[in-house]
Amino acid sequence: MVAAVFAAQASAIAAPPAVNGVAQEVESQSGSGVPPSDPAAGSDGGEIVVTALHHPTATDPLAHVNEKSFEATQAVDKAFVGPVALGYKHIVPKPVRLGIRNVLGNLHQPVVFVNFLLQGKPGKSGETAARFAINSTVGLGGLLDVAKRRPFNLPNRPNGFGDTLGYYGIRPGAYLYLPLIGPTTVRDLIGGTLDRLVLPTAVGKPFGQPAYTAPTGVASALDSRAEFDQQLRDIRESDDPYLARRTLYLRKRQAEIDGLHNHNKNQT
C-alpha cells in the first residue's frame, strides 16, 4: 500500500512530456483562463518548444483547488520524493534503469496497437505489433529496444485512449491537478483509466495484482521523476509555477493529438 501511494505521488509530480523543453512563458491572467494562443517560441534559455495545430480548450474551473493540490504535491516532492528519485538515479546504473524503462514501455505497446486500430491507422498498428513482437523476442522481453534500430527502424510512438478520444474531437473538459495523478483533464482521466485496464483485462495475472503493480509503479515513477528533474526545477523558478505546469501539460497533450492528425497525411 505504501509503495502504491509513493508511486502515485511520484507520478503526480513527474508526468514527463513527450516534447523538448520546459514551460517558461505563461499567460498573464490566472484562474480559469485558457493557455496562451501562441506556443512559447525558441529553444534558447530553456523555453518550451511545443507546437499544436489547435490550441488547448480545457478550462480550469477548479483553479483554486487545483493550485492547492499542486502546492501540496510540490512540498512532498521537495521533502521526500525528489531526493529519493535522485538517489535512485545515482545508485542504479543507467543501463539497468534504461532496461526497466524499455520493459515497461514494451508492455504498453498493446495499448498503442489497439488505439491505432481505433483511429483507423492499420499501418501504424501493424508497425506497433511488429515492434512489440521484435522487442519481446529478440529484445529479451523488451529489455533491449532492438526494434528502433536498423534494419527495423520502428520508432516508439505514444498513444492511448485519451488520444483516441481527442482524435475524434472530444474536448479535454476541465483541467485537474489530482494529488496521486498529477496534471490531467476529464478526458485524459477517463482515457488513462482505460489504458490501465487493457493488460489486466486481456491477460489477467499478474498485471492486475499488487505484487506486479506496486514494484513496477515505483520503478517507473522514480525513473520518470529523476528524468523530469531539470524541467521541474525550471517550472518552479517561473513566475507562476502552477500556470507553467498547466500550460505545459495542455500544450503537450494537444501537440500529441495534432500529431495523430498529421499522420493521416502520411501512412495510416
| pLDDT tens for each residue of 71-105 | 999 999 999 999 999 999 999 999 999 999 999 99
Do 127 and 154 contact (CB within 8 A), yes or no?
Answer: yes
Of 62 and 17, the structure prediction assigns the larger pLDDT to 62
Structure confidence at residue 44 as a pLDDT band (50, 70, 90): very low
Bridge partner residues of 184 (DSSP): 176
Give the C-alpha distances (Å, rounded to integers) separating 226 from 68, 77, 221: 23, 11, 9
Over 80: is that where the pLDDT of 265 sits?
no
**154, 229 Cβ separation under 8 angstroms:** no
Which range, 14-18, 20-24, 169-173, is most confident? 169-173
Binned at pLDDT 50, 70 and 90, residue 188 comes out as very high
Per DSSP (E only), the strands in 102-174 are none
For the cut 50, the answer to whether the pLDDT of residue 59 exceeds it is yes
Of the CA atoms within 13 Å of residue 43, those in its CB half-sphere come to: 6
Residue 184 in 3-state DSSP?
A: strand
Determine contact, residues 33/26, Cβ cutoff 8 Å: no
pLDDT tens digits, residue range 198-236?
A: 999 999 999 989 999 999 999 999 999 999 999 999 999
